[in-house]
Amino acid sequence: FDKLKKGLSKTRETFFGGIKTLFAGKKLDDEVLEELEEILIMSDMGMETVEKILDDLKSEYKKQEPDDPLLLLRDIMVSNLESEGFNANPQQNPYIIFVVGVNGSGKTTTIAKLSKKYISEGKKVAIAAADTFRAAAIEQIKHWGEKIGATVIAHEHGSDAAAVVFDTLKHAKSKGKEIVIVDTAGRLHNKSHLMEELKKIKRVIEKETDGPHETLLVLDGTTGQNGVQQAKAFKDSVDITGVVVTKLDGTAKGGIAFSINNQLNIPIKMIGVGEKEDDLQMFDPKSYVNALLG
């Protein structure tokens, strides 16, 4: 929790932390509610969620007349975050995690962090370097693989991404790798082409295994509403089972998590709070809200 709290310090110090002072020893009158509304909107929570939270707060406050309205707000905020635990101890073997998202969102870093987590639990991890579009992407994931001890299966720059995935699955099955993580391209300038490529990869996984068991969309938390719009294209093409929100340490607008939940209707499974291998956390709404509010 301390790490989460530190990671979210920017957003707490800029917006959410002010709520505590705002509520201190006061009744929830119109003035306080107006100020609260402003803070929530500024934090990028999205208008719809803000309205919902304020309505809930008003009606529950009337009903319960709580001594500590902040506690009530905490509960209401938590109930507006959908969570579904990430399956950290999968039964399927190999367990296949398909990772998508636009370039720069933090996909490669997230894959490295996630691999490290599995490796530290004694599992063997194979990574498919299926972003064959960028030579640098292949190098980057290979570099991470060496650093954390995961096998990276890669082909030449420009080769067929689905073929890389096919080879990785074959490797995993023959070498007893428990976890397969598939890195993919994220070029948005040719979106329809990219979505076709992702669908093709998915078909290969489905044909060769009973996966994918998890399809994660990596979303840069600093891109705000833009990122949420981009996410919709991925949602329509491959069935996203969970979102990873990255770079929450670099934004004051931590309200984005609520907006993602509300607009995409996909649970957030993990959050990135830094660039290092250990800076990935399983998402827990209660801890998240407590870290935001302080």
Q: Whole-angstrom Cα distance, residue 141 to residue 147?
A: 10
Given 17, 66, 224, 250, the residue binding ligand GDP (CB under 6 A) = 250
Given 11, 109, 115, 209, the residue binding ligand GDP (CB under 6 A) = 109
Measured in degrees and rounded to the nearest 5, phi and psi for residue 134 equal: -115, 120
Tokens, residue 184: 């993919």
* 65 Cβ contact list (under 8 Å, min separation 6): none
Site for ligand GDP in 141-170 (CB under 6 A): none
Q: Find the radius of gyration of the CA atoms of the chain.
A: 21
- Identify the three-state secondary structure at position 130: strand
Give 73 or 249: the residue with its C-beta nearer to ligand GDP. 249
Given 117, 202, 247, 253, the residue binding ligand GDP (CB under 6 A) = 247
**81 belongs to an annotated ligand binding site:** no
Asked if 43 and 16 count as a contact pair (C-beta separation under 8 A), the reply is yes
**At its nearest, how many Å lie between ligand GDP and the CB of residue 107?**
3
Cα 144 to Cα 90, 91, 105, 274, distances in angstroms: 23, 26, 17, 16
**103 belongs to an annotated ligand binding site:** yes
Give 105 or 168: the residue with its C-beta nearer to ligand GDP. 105
Give the residue carrying structure tokens 């929100």. Answer: 245
Pairing of strands 179-184, 151-153: unpaired
Q: What region does 265 belong to: left with phi over 0, alpha with psi -120 to 50, or beta?
A: left
Angle at 260 between CA 54 and CA 102, to 5 degrees: 155
Asked if 204 and 242 count as a contact pair (C-beta separation under 8 A), the reply is no
Q: Whole-angstrom Cα distance, residue 1 to residue 279?
A: 12
Asked if 279 and 272 count as a contact pair (C-beta separation under 8 A), the reply is yes
Give 19 or 194: the residue with its C-beta nearer to ligand GDP. 194
H-state helical runs in 80-154: 107-120, 135-148
Given 108, 209, 230, 237, the residue binding ligand GDP (CB under 6 A) = 108
Give 92 or 140: the residue with its C-beta nearer to ligand GDP. 140
> Applying CB under 6 A, which part among 12-20, 193-201, 206-214, 241-249 lies near ligand GDP?
241-249
Site for ligand GDP in 57-86 (CB under 6 A): none
**187 belongs to an annotated ligand binding site:** yes
Count residues near ligand GDP (CB under 6 A).
18
Site for ligand GDP in 14-33 (CB under 6 A): none
- Going residue by residue from 192 to 221, which x/- string records binding to ligand GDP, judged by CB under 6 A? ------------------------------
**128 belongs to an annotated ligand binding site:** no
Give 126 or 218: the residue with its C-beta nearer to ligand GDP. 218
Indicate whether 230 belongs to the interface with ligand GDP (CB under 6 A).
Answer: no
For the annotated binding site, the residues are: 101-108, 183-187, 246-249
For the annotated binding site for GTP, the residues are: 101-108, 183-187, 246-249
Residues that bind ligand GDP in the complex, under the rule CB under 6 A: 101, 103-109, 186, 246-247, 249-250, 272-275, 279
